[in-house]
Structure 1
Amino acid sequence: MRRNVPFLLLMALPLGGCQGWQSALDAHGPAASSLARMFWIFVAVLVTVWALTMIALLLSLRRRRPADADPLATDPRTERRMTITVSVAIGLTLLTVISLTGLSYAAQKVLFAYKDGTLTLLVTGRQWWWQITYEHSESNRVFTTANEIHIPVGEPVLIKLESSDVIHSFWIPSLTGKMDAITGRQNQIQIQADRPGIYRGQCAEYCGLQHAHMGLLVIAESKEDFERWREHQTASAIPPQDEERQRGMEIFLSKPCVMCHQIRGTDAGGKVAPDLTHVGSRRTIGAGTLETTRGNIAAWIVDPHGVKPGVNMPTIQLEPDEVQPLASYLEGLK
């Protein structure tokens, strides 16, 4: 299990034409704020130590011995002064290490001091995307989505972390520290957003060829907006009304897509790839690789390995006139 220590001075990266920035120092939650404060205190202490070391070095370089002085001769007063100086330096070093250790421990307590909340998510790391299941005591309120987490502002959300293959690491820099997702074990971490916004996250443990393209978004919104979003997500996909999208649905259901993907309300019941019931409402596809547009969906369908080399999605054989109806159908699954 990886402990949560911020190690980047600043990381602020745009997400492929989509909103969402990540910075460990742009804290918008209690855990992230604790880590950011610890980071700046560490920086201040280390800069102070470095400055004092440089000053001592410069002062020592300025001292000159007489040309005829015996290099082996000792001065009792100088030796006594140096002994005191070194002793004080050792004492200050020990005090600094103990203080920083205590500060780190205090930050960890904040990070793992879970508050009572009403929302629990099961997040499963897969090569190379995130499966998110919203748990609920009523089975008809449970649903699964991918690579995009919606949470209500100001409420703690418990994240249960698992992995289906290799070790992944769940990290939302602006909201919390890191936690590993390990096969055969469940770890937990809590996130909370103090203000509305879109917060980018990623896998922070090298997990294979497309590790760098295993992103996710956390959308923090008002309680009312979140409840409306959740209510919509629990519903099955709305059957298409226009002719093009109806043909697109027929193409989807006649292809191997149904073996891996699920679209609730249809015969597609696959469980090994992202649930596509409301894929058109997500901001990205391919775990943050592309913005969700009809053109990008078509490009992904035709050549997923050209977009994300090594991805587990196979290339589907389609006729030229089947691509646009299929992309239109998927883009319309709002």
Structure 2
Amino acid sequence: MLLRTGSLYAQPQQSVLRPAGVQAANIAKLWDISLIVCGIVFALVLLATLVALLRNSRQASGAGQAAGPPDLSSLARPEHRTRALVIGASVLSVFVLVGLIVADVLTDRALSKLPVDDPVRIDMIGAQWWWQAAYRAQDGQGGFVTANELHVPVGRPIVVSLQATDVIHSFWVPNLHGKKDMLPGIDTTIEFRADQPGTYRGQCAEYCGAEHALMAMLVIADPPEHYAAWVARQTQSAVQTGDAITLHGRDVFERASCANCHTIRGTSAIGTTGPDLTHLMSRETMAAGVLANTPQNLAAWIRNPQALKPGATMPAVPLSDDDRAAVVRWLSTLQ
């Protein structure tokens, strides 16, 4: 998925093998250790199987004839060498498994030791099938709500409070941390730190219904000055414009069912069922990563969201072509 022209980062990443934070780096090290150990064990098993096949004890009856019956004489005499090999392999397997457990425990301890002084605090809510992110007031700035996209400052710890409104979801941004379940009625937290600027794709990692695969998010790690500028814009209300068609689109939005589900600060729209749209066009994607956030895709989404994301709770909004175009024109000003 390529992001819109003008973004700081052109290509989002989603890979556990390219850690961009200290926790993801620790998880990647554990993965490397596990891969090497399991690869060696797999190779030894294949080697043992090959040796057993080459030492087939069946006796050939002659050229071009089928092999004779197996040689079972070993059943009547002890095989001390084979027994020693089996015991040695079993003991070695125990040590290897204990070693992997120790590596797992040490990794878990390393993950829990992230300093969380002066963190950015975000309340993340997972719903079928989108994400709501509420940034708490801090650093002299008021709080605000956005959706399906997080901006975080590079080098600063992030503490995310996780909740679910309907079924079990799971917060997972593999470049930054492991998975953390989001359980209805139970609050949990996840802490991470992005050490490299970039755009990282996240995904719900717990099957949560028909559109589970289309429940994605972007985490954009900005240099501190870019992050501060983004926060300053997000805390502002929607910009009002004097263009007649645009104002007509705002009026249609407020009169239609749109205002019952969405909030746009600075207008009469105060719905909470759907995403906050105050700064809709500042986001790279829409519908939780399904579409690039463009006016054309926005019009198609308003016309028939079920065609683009079957099962989404947003209904088709019955608007005339002119009214829909006016609404899209107004929404396109919400930077």
The TM-score, its normalising length taken from structure 2, stands at 0.90
Q: State the distance in 1 between where 2:334 and 2:58 align.
A: 86
Question: Using a 3 Å threshold, how does the CA distance of structure 1 residues 236 and 48 change in structure 2: closer, same or farther?
Answer: same
Matches within 5 A, 1:101-120: 101-116=101-116, 117-120=118-121
Please state if 1:191 is matched with 2:192.
yes
Q: State the distance in 1 between where 2:119 and 2:72 align.
A: 78
Deviating more after overlay: 298-307 vs 65-74:
65-74
Which structure: larger Rg? Answer: 2
Question: Using a 3 Å threshold, how does the CA distance of structure 1 residues 228 and 72 change in structure 2: closer, same or farther?
Answer: closer
Q: State the distance in 2 between where 1:319 and 1:129 align.
A: 27
Report the equivalent of 1:34. 26
Q: State the distance in 1 between where 2:165 and 2:294 align.
A: 29
Deviations 1:259-317 (A, max 9, x none): 11000011111111100000011111101111111111111111111111110011111
Please state if 1:52 is matched with 2:38.
no
Shift of 1:184: 0.4
Deviating more after overlay: 149-158 vs 104-113:
104-113
Counterpart of 1:280, as a letter, is: M
Shift of 1:180: 0.6
Report the equivalent of 1:71. 73
Question: Using a 3 Å threshold, how does the CA distance of structure 1 residues 255 and 92 change in structure 2: closer, same or farther?
Answer: same
Report the equivalent of 1:253. 254
Counterpart of 1:325, as a letter, is: A
Counterpart of 2:281, as a letter, is: G
Shift of 1:164: 0.6
Name the SS of the counterpart of 2:133 in structure 1: strand
Q: State the distance in 2 between where 1:206 and 1:65 align.
A: 51
Q: State the distance in 1 between where 2:98 and 2:311 align.
A: 46
Report the equivalent of 2:202. 201
Name the SS of the counterpart of 2:162 in structure 1: strand
Paired residues of 1:292 and 1:331 also in contact (CA < 8 A): no
Q: State the distance in 1 between where 2:11 and 2:44 align.
A: 43
Q: RMSD of aligned C-alpha atoms?
A: 2.0
Matches within 5 A, 1:276-287: 276-287=277-288
Please state if 1:213 is matched with 2:214.
yes
Q: State the distance in 2 between where 1:305 and 1:191 align.
A: 35
List runs of 5+ in structure 1 lacking aligned partners. 1-13
List runs of 5+ in structure 2 lacking aligned partners. 5-9, 60-69
Paired residues of 2:167 and 2:184 also in contact (CA < 8 A): yes
Paired residues of 1:201 and 1:215 also in contact (CA < 8 A): yes
Please state if 1:24 is matched with 2:19.
no
Name the SS of the counterpart of 1:37 in structure 2: helix
Question: Using a 3 Å threshold, how does the CA distance of structure 1 residues 173 and 73 change in structure 2: closer, same or farther?
Answer: closer
Report the equivalent of 2:65. none
Q: State the distance in 2 between where 1:201 and 1:66 align.
A: 57
Question: Using a 3 Å threshold, how does the CA distance of structure 1 residues 50 and 294 change in structure 2: closer, same or farther?
Answer: same
Q: How many pairs align? A: 319
Q: State the distance in 2 between where 1:111 and 1:15 align.
A: 31
Counterpart of 1:43, as a letter, is: L
The TM-score, its normalising length taken from structure 1, stands at 0.90
Q: State the distance in 2 between where 1:66 and 1:284 align.
A: 66
Question: Using a 3 Å threshold, how does the CA distance of structure 1 residues 60 and 331 change in structure 2: closer, same or farther?
Answer: same
Paired residues of 2:133 and 2:147 also in contact (CA < 8 A): yes
Shift of 1:84: 1.6
Q: State the distance in 2 between where 1:149 and 1:137 align.
A: 16
Q: State the distance in 1 between where 2:220 and 2:72 align.
A: 73
Please state if 1:96 is matched with 2:88.
no
